[in-house]
Structure 1
Amino acid sequence: MLVGEAEHWWRGTHHMLTARGVVVDWECFRRVFLEKYFPESVRHAKEAEFMRLHQGGMTVSEYAMRFEHLARFYSQAISEAWKCRKFAEGLKHELKRVVVPMAIIEFPALVEKAKVVERLEGGNRVTRAAEGPAGSKKGGNQRKPYDRPQPQQGSPVIRQPSSTTSGGRQGGGVTLRCYRCAGPHFIRDCPHTESRCFRCH
C-alpha cells in the first residue's frame, strides 16, 4: 500500500493513464512505479543481482525475502513456475538435491518445503558432529589386527636357551660324555690315549 507522496503520485498517474485508455493492471503499475522511483541504472544493477542470486550463507527465509525483493526489478514477466525453478536452483546443494526433484510450481509451498528440509539437514549435522568420525568411539583405544603389541616397561623378557651350556650340557638336557674316560668332551678331544671303556670302571 502506498502512503504519503507516493499515494498522491499514483492517484494522479492512474487518472492520467485511464484517460488515455490504458489498461491499468499490475504490470502497468509496476512499470511506471519503477520508472518513477528507481533510475534505470539502479534497476539494471538490481536485475543483475537477481539473476546471480544464490542462497549462500543465508537461511531459506532470508533467501526467500531477498529473492522476492529483487524479483520486482526483473524486466521480463515472471511466471510462477519460472519463479520456482529460479529459486530452487539457487538453494544450497544439500537442499537443492531434495527440493528440485519435487518440481513444486507454487512459490509459497516451495519455500515452506525448503524450510522443512533445512531443519532436517540441520538436525542431521548436529547428530553427525556428536557421533564423530565413522567407526570411532570416544575414549577408545582400538588396535589394528596387524599391529604387534609392544612389551611394556618392566615386563619379563623370555630368551631361548643356547645350544650348549657350561658343564658339557646341550640344549634339551642331554649330557655330553666321552666314551673313553667319561669326561665332559668328545672322544676326539680326550687327553687319555689308552683305550678303555668307562662303563667297565
Structure 2
Amino acid sequence: MGVRRTMLGTISDSGLDDVLLIWRRAQVLLKECLNSCSMVRPPYDQIARTMKMMAMAMQQQSAHFAQMEVGRAVVEVVRPMISWDGRDLAEFRRCQPLQFKGDSNLDVVDQWLCEMEKIFSVLGSSKETKLAYVVYMLAGKAEYWWRGTRQMLESRGVVVDWDCFRKVFLEKYFLDSVRYAKEIEFMRLQQGSMSVSEYATRFEHLAHFYSQAISEAWRCRKFAEGLRHKLKKFIVPMSIVEFPALVEKEKTVETLESGGGGSKAARVKDGSSGSKRGGQ
C-alpha cells in the first residue's frame, strides 16, 4: 500500500482516495447548486446536503490523521521495549540454559530447575521475565503439556505467573513422595562445605517444597541457623529479618573470613549492631 504526503501529514493511498472521492462529489453538487441560482426558489435542501458531505469529508480526513499519530506514538513507545527485551534475552542465552523436554528422571528435572533458578539469581530476573524464559526453554512433551495447562488455568481465571508455573510444574514432575523427601532435606539443610551463594541457592530451591507458609523472619532464622559456626557467630546476633540483606551480609563476612580478616568481620558485626541500636 502506497503512502502520500499532504499538508497535514502522510496518508495511505486508500484512505486518501476515499476522502478525495467524497470531496469531489461535494464539489459537483455545489456547482449544480450555484448554476441553479437563477431559479425562483433556491435549492436549499441540495445545498444543505452538499455542505454536509463536505463536512463529512473533512471529519474523515481529520480522524484518519489522528489515528496515524496514535500509531506513530505507539511505535515510539514499543520500540525501546522490544530492544531492551532483546538484550535481556541475549544475556540469558549467554548463560547457556538447557532445554527441558519432559524428562521423567527426577534428578534431571531437579537439576534443570536448579540451574534455571541459578541463572535467574545471577541476572536478577523479575517474576515476569522468569516465566517468559522458563517457557522459552520448554520443548517437546513439556512444551505441549504447558500449552494445555496454561489454557486450562486461564479458562478458570487463574493468574498465570512464575509462582503458578512453579507450583504446577512441581505437581506434574515430582511425586508426593519426592516432594516430602525434599521437604525433609530442607529442614535438615546445613551449609557444610558450600559457599554462601551455593547454600542460598539450595536453600531457596528446597524452600519451595516446604508445605507450610514461610514468613520472611522465619526464613532468615532458618537460613542463619544452618550456617557454619564461624559465620553464624557473627550473623545470628544481628537479627536481620530481610532475606536478601541477610545473604549479602553473610557474603561480606565470608569474604573477610576467607581473607584472614577476622577482626574486620568483628567490626562488621559491631557496626551492624551499632546501627541497629541507633535506629531503635
Q: What TM-score results when the alignment is normalised by the length of structure 2?
A: 0.41
Question: Which residue type is aligned with residue 221 of structure 2?
Answer: R
Which residue among 121, 136, 139 is the counterpart of 1:4?
139
The code of the aligned residue for 2:184 comes to: A
The equivalent of 2:131 in structure 1 is none
Q: CA RMSD in A?
A: 2.4
Gaps of 5+ in 1: 128-201
Please give the per-residue CA displacement for 1:63-99, whole angstroms capped at 9, x wherever unaligned. Answer: 1121122122212233332222211111112211211
- Corresponding residue SS for 1:58: coil
Q: Give the partner amino acid of 1:106.
A: E
Cα drift, residue 103 of structure 1 = 2.0
1:25 Cα deviation after fit: 5.2
Distance 1:65 1:57, change over 3 A: same
Cα displacement (A) at 1:121: 2.0
State the partner residue of 1:82: 218
Map 1:21-32; keep pairs closer than 5 Å: 21-24=157-160, 27-32=163-168
Q: Which of 195, 209, 218 is matched with 1:59 structurally?
A: 195
Corresponding letter in the other structure for 1:108: P
SS class of match (1:124): coil
AA paired with 2:235? Answer: V
Aligned partner of residue 51 in structure 1, secondary structure: helix
Q: Which residue of 2 aligns with 1:119?
A: 255
Q: Which amino acid aligns with 2:139?
A: G
Separation of aligned partners in 1, 2:143 and 2:256: 44
Aligned residue-pair number: 127
Cα contact 2:256–2:262 (8 A) shared by 1:
no
- In 2, Cα distance between the equivalents of 1:76 and 1:23? 22
In the alignment, the residues of structure 2 paired with residue 74 and residue 49 of structure 1 have an alpha-carbon distance, to the nearest angstrom, of 10
By how many angstroms is 1:106 displaced? 2.4
User: Match for 1:109: what amino acid?
Assistant: A
Deviation of the 1:23 alpha carbon = 4.7
Counterpart residue number, 1:152: none
Structure 2 counterparts to residues 46-195 of structure 1, below 5 A: 46-124=182-260
**Secondary structure at 2:259 match in 1:** helix
Tell me, which stretches of 5 or more residues in structure 2 are unaligned? 1-133, 264-280
What is the identity, as a one-letter code, of the residue corresponding to 2:204? Answer: E
Q: CA deviation at 1:124?
A: 3.1
Q: Distance in 1 between matches of 2:201 and 2:163?
A: 21
Counterpart CA distance in 1 for 2:161 and 2:212 is 15
Residue number among 147, 151, 172 corresponding to 1:36 in the alignment? 172
Distance, in Å, in 2 between the alignment partners of 1:67 and 1:98 is 20
- Which has the higher Rg, Structure 1 or Structure 2? 1
Alpha carbons of structure 1 residues 109 and 7: separation in structure 2 relative to 1, 3 Å = farther
Bigger fraction of residues in helix: 2
